[in-house]
Chains A and B, each alone.
Chain A
Amino acid sequence: MSSVFVVDRSGQEEIITIEPGETLMQAISNSGMPDMLALCGGVCACATCHVYIDAAPESVMSGMDEDEDVLLGGVLSRQENSRLCCQIRLTEAYDGLRVTIAPEE
């Protein structure tokens, strides 16, 4: 059983069990964490699942496509380690991933 660490906007950390094949957004959303709006449901259209990747395999940061990059381009709180977590498809290799939910815009 793999898990990821998610820090919410109050700084509280939760450990979430993940299913390979689901996206990080789905995993966080299904865990009931209230900070994850994820309004568009994972079609890269809203940027409300913005997270900062704190510790992760290198492939997480190199997996961004143009649609995601464009969408994040309009986000004021974007950082070098920003990702939209609906675009991160989880595998066993993501065990131990640590992310922080970005501020609301």
Chain B
Amino acid sequence: MTAQELSERDYFTDPEILVDPYEYFNALRSQGPICRLEKYDCLLITGFEEALEVWKNPIDFSSVNSLASAAFPLPFEPKGSDISEQLDEARDKFVGHDMVVCYDGKHHTKVRSLISRVFTPTRLKANNVFMHDYAQELVQRVVARGSCELVSEVAAPYVTMIIASLLGVPPEDRVKFEEVIAAGQTVGSIEHADSPTDMTSMNFIAQFMAEYLQDRMKNPTGDMLTELTQSSYPDGTKPDLSELVGLSAFLFAAGQDTSAKLLGNAMRYIVDIPGLQQQLRDDRDLIPWMIEEVLRLEGSSKITARLAVRDTKIGDMDIPAGTRVGLAIAAINRDPVKWGEDANEFKLKRPRIREHLAFGRGVHTCAGAPLARAEVIEIINAFFDHTSEIGFNEAVHGKVGSRKYKFEPSFIIRGLDTLQVEFKA
């Protein structure tokens, strides 16, 4: 297939692009750092600097469509050089509009201030003992059997329990949430073109969060939910209950799939890069460096979106109000202009690696990034503690160099549906 033919495929629905989105994005990149997807009448950014410019301009670019995607047509006909009033009237027509990730302006600043207050290093550190013990318990259980399906048996329950513990979700309800999330439709499903992101699981979780929050108002504990009920906005006013319910449900759900997928993605590099596994076992201080390079090369989020609310520019390009812009994180993080000609290769201690955009940048930077990193580092250490070698089931995934994987059918999430892992004690 030529680059031209490849670039004409439909990123938002094509199951073949799931397997190798990077080849597709490379084909797009050959058209320049910003290209137009005719079918969806939107722009797609593959250039690092261009993406950074959009992320750092929340005045001109709204986040309202960050979950709906750039492919989602506007629910109104944009008129004039400033559509902010039109957007305000139609905001509730965007999927996820009531979640902080889609907020803009002062409302976002206020709610984001609550997140900064609860996601502190002190609070994360206080959960380290639980995280360590739970990682050890899960890993010892599967290593004793000699093999496991990593995603459903380790990654998903692990990340669910960690955030549940931080928030203060009662242990008896944690499995319930895990089951609902596992059974629900993935975010940005390529199999549901009319409704790629479904909020059923989120609404289910929100009902429980409302109960917990009301309980914490009467019976405060030391958990994050209690802290949210006691929090105030910077202007001294109190958030109402519905805002806290939405925020709690979002904090619970946001890091689930992405953190779980990061573990699977990291395992692929650990197992398949020649010599890497032993190098990391010999020097555990390299694990965080490995995670950063995996985040760059194969982070769990492939794409997000913005909407130009007024006439603006990206570089020299005029961007009219109403333009939908896709930020292809999976491409941006491999832009050779930023990372050099070896941008597609794995390289430990890559210069300026911390500047990758796997967690975005600007006012919407993922606040859970420190938690995601800590979670994955902890459990990889646990695997190294209890094994001498980790490999994949070749009957299922094939041999190194010709592996076969089933990926989550999502245009947003990059990660494996399943990964059959084998251990040597």
Chain A residues at the B interface, C-beta cutoff of 8 Å: 19-23, 26, 29-30, 32, 37-46, 48, 66-67, 70-71, 86, 89, 91
How far is B363's CA from A30's CA once the two chains are assembled, in angstroms?
8
**Do A21 and B109 have beta carbons less than 8 Å apart?**
yes
**In whole Å, how far is A67's beta carbon from the nearest beta carbon of chain B?**
5
Contact surface of B with A, Cβ cutoff 8 Å: 53, 56-59, 106, 109-110, 112-113, 115-116, 119-122, 233-235, 354-355, 359-367, 369-370
Of chain A, the residue at the smallest CB distance from B122 is A67
Check B121–A71 contact: CB distance below 8 A. Answer: yes
Q: Which residues of A contact B109 (CB under 8 A)?
A: 19, 21-22, 26
B365 and A41 form a contact (CB under 8 A) = yes
B106 touches A42 (CB 8 A): no
> What's the nearest-Cβ distance from chain A to residue B34, in Å?
18
CB contacts (< 8 Å) of B360 on chain A: these are 41
Minimum CB distance partner of B357 in chain A: A39
Measured between beta carbons, the chain B residues less than 8 angstroms from A89 are 113, 234
Residues of B within 8 A of A32 (CB): 53, 56-57
Q: Beyond A29-B363, A39-B354, A40-B365: 11 further Cβ-contacts under 8 Å?
A: A19-B109, A21-B106, A21-B113, A21-B233, A21-B235, A22-B109, A30-B56, A38-B361, A39-B355, A41-B369, A42-B367
Write out the residue numbers on chain B whose beta carbons fall within 8 Å of the beta carbon of A37.
Answer: 355
Point out the residues of chain B lying under 8 angstroms from A42, CB to CB: 112, 116, 365, 367
Max count, chain A CB within 10 A of own CB: residue among B59, B360, B363, B369: B363
Tell me the nearest residue of chain A to B370, going by C-beta.
Answer: A45
Q: How far is the CA of A23 from the CA of B116 in the complex (A)?
A: 11
Contact indicator A30/B370 (Cβ below 8 Å): no
Chain A residue at minimum C-beta to C-beta distance from B364 = A41
Tell me which of B56, B59, B364, B365 contacts A39 (CB under 8 A). B365
Residues of B within 8 A of A70 (CB): 121
A41 is contacted by which of B53, B113, B362 (Cβ under 8 Å)?
A: B362
**CB atoms of B121 and A30 under 8 A apart:** no
Q: How distant is A84 from chain B, measured CB to nearest CB, in Å?
A: 11
19 inter-chain pairs at a CB distance below 8 angstroms, sorted by A residue, are A20-B235, A21-B106, A21-B109, A22-B234, A26-B109, A29-B362, A30-B58, A30-B59, A30-B363, A32-B56, A40-B369, A41-B364, A41-B369, A43-B120, A43-B367, A43-B370, A44-B120, A44-B121, A66-B122
Query: Within 8 Å CB of A71, what residues of B?
Result: 121
Cα distance A86–B106 in the bound complex, in angstroms: 16
Contact check, B113 vs A40: say whether CB atoms are below 8 A apart: no
Q: Is the CB of B119 within 8 A of A43?
A: yes
Q: Can you name the residue of chain A whose Cβ is closest to the Cβ of B373?
A: A45
Chain B residue at minimum C-beta to C-beta distance from A26: B363
In the bound assembly, the distance between CA atoms of A48 and B369 in angstroms comes to 15
Complex: how many Å from CA A86 to CA B115?
13
| Majority SS at the chain A contact face | loop
Bound-state CA distance A40–B370 (Å) is 8
**Provided the pairs A26-B363, A39-B355, A41-B367 are in contact, do residues A86 and B234 lie with their beta carbons within 8 angstroms?**
no
Interfacial chain B residues near A19, Cβ < 8 Å: 106, 109
Which chain A residue shows the least CB distance to B52? A34
The listed residue (A21, A29, A67) touching B56 by CB distance below 8 A is: A29
Contact present for B362 and A30 (CB under 8 Å): yes
B121 touches A86 (CB 8 A): no
Q: Contacts of B354 on A, CB cut-off 8 Å? A: 39, 46, 48
Q: Which residues of A contact B110 (CB under 8 A)?
A: 21
* Nearest-Cβ distance from residue A6 to partner chain B, whole angstroms: 15
Nearest residue (CB) in B for A46 is: B354
User: How many Å from the CB of A20 to the closest CB on chain B?
Assistant: 7
| 9 shortest interchain CB distances as A-B pairs | A41-B365, A21-B234, A45-B370, A67-B121, A43-B119, A22-B109, A42-B116, A43-B367, A89-B234
Taking the nearest CB of chain A, how far is it from the CB of B125, in angstroms? Answer: 9
Residue from A39, A43, A66 whose CB has the most chain B CB atoms within 10 Å: A43
Q: Give the interface centre of B120, B233, B235 by most chain A CB atoms within 10 Å.
A: B120
Residue of A nearest to B58 (CB): A30
The closest CB in chain A to the CB of B369 belongs to: A40
| Residue of A26, A66, A71 ringed by the most chain B CB atoms within 10 A | A26
How far apart sit A71 and B232, CA to CA, in the bound complex (Å)? 25
- Check A20 against B370 for contact (C-beta < 8 Å): no
Please name all residues of chain A whose beta carbon is closer than 8 Å to the beta carbon of B113 when the two chains form the complex. 21, 23, 89
Contact B59 A67 (CB under 8 A): no
Give min CB distance, A49 to chain B, whole Å: 11
Q: Which of B116, B235, B369 is close to A86, meaning CB atoms less than 8 Å apart?
A: B116
Write the chain B residue with the least CB distance to A21: B234
Please give, as numbers and ranges, the residues of chain A lying within 8 Å of B121 by CB-CB distance: 43-45, 67, 70-71
Kindly list chain A residues whose C-beta atoms are within 8 Å of the C-beta of B367.
Answer: 41-43
By beta carbon, the residue of chain B nearest A32 is: B56
Q: How far is the CB of A4 from chain B (nearest CB, A)?
A: 16
